[in-house]
């Protein structure tokens, strides 16, 4: 499956993969900054943004979609950054198609299974009637997600005319066990350069996850961005951009 893309700049390819309920356009400022010296490709993941809606999705299929989309753009190898769900897809691509990945940066996720989350919020999203104004949709989501910042992020997935969601909610809902989980591929470790970035206030990468990460990515180095939570690139855009520039320039 070919994924929708936002592409900027020229030079060595750098691919960015967003997390659950994100979109390629969320990387806008970061992509513009990096495209001064690089060809920067941000993909909408399946069931997100402008990419096709699918009845199910898992990390093997997402990695295959990224590989197919790179081939469609004539890219034989790229540097790769993925956040959260996109980070797991990036890890799967590096493990199953290491020829495609020169350097790997993973933002705030580990190759582990996480506890169930998002189910109540997804149910609330599915229950918002078509045509509901943004303020009304926000009110309907509040019981499931009290954090106004998270709701604003979710509401960025609404169609501009309020007629529904850009996201393929049915496919996402059906795939939540796979999205929160991790199925280790029977593949050799990825031996290329790898950087694992954590948000200071996030619990997505725990100390006990580091040995697990190094089993698949033996060259992995670890960096913590001060003042950031799980959405590292949004919480500390300057710090995250500086980390990306330093790693992908090295």
Q: Determine the Cα–Cα distance for residues 125 and 42; give it in Å rounded to an integer.
A: 25
Q: Which of 7, 53, 61, 170 is catalytic?
A: 170
Asked whether the beta carbons of 54 and 47 are under 8 A apart, the reply is: yes
Q: Determine the Cα–Cα distance for residues 232 and 230; give it in Å rounded to an integer.
A: 5
Q: Which of 35, 69, 84, 107 is catalytic?
A: 84
Q: Active-site residue 230, yes or no?
A: yes
Q: Active-site residue 120, yes or no?
A: no
* CA dist 238 → 34, 79, 133, 141 (Å): 12, 20, 33, 31
3-state secondary structure (DSSP) of residue 216: helix
101-107 and 78-83 beta bridge pairing: parallel
Instruction: Identify the H or E element spanning 164.
Output: none
Which residues does residue 7 pair with via DSSP β-bridges, in sequence order? 41
Which residues are part of the catalytic machinery? 84, 170, 230
């Amino acid at each position: 499956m070919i994924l929708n893309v936002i592409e900027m700049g020229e030079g060595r390819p750098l691919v960015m993969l967003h997390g659950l309920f994100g979109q390629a356009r969320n990387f806008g400022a970061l992509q513009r900054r990096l495209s001064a010296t690089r060809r920067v490709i941000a993909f909408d993941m399946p069931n997100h943004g402008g990419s096709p809606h699918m009845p199910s999705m898992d990390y093997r299929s997402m990695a295959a979609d990224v590989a197919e989309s790179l081939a469609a753009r004539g890219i034989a190898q790229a540097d790769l950054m993925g956040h959260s769900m996109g980070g797991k897809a990036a890890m799967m691509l590096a493990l199953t198609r290491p020829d495609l990945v020169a350097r790997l940066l993973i933002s705030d996720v580990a190759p582990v299974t996480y506890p169930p989350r998002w189910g109540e919020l997804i149910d609330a999203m599915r229950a918002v009637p078509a045509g509901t104004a943004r303020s009304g949709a926000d009110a309907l989501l509040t019981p499931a997600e009290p954090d106004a910042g998270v709701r604003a992020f979710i509401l960025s997935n609404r169609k501009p005319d309020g007629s529904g969601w850009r996201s393929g909610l049915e496919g996402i809902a059906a795939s939540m066990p796979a999205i929160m989980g991790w199925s280790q591929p029977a593949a050799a470790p990825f031996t290329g350069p790898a950087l694992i970035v954590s948000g200071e206030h996030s619990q997505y990468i725990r100390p006990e996850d580091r040995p697990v990460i190094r089993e698949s990515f033996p060259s992995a180095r670890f960096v913590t961005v001060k003042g950031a939570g799980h959405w590292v690139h949004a919480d500390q855009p300057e710090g995250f951009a500086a980390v990306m520039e330093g790693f992908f320039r090295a």
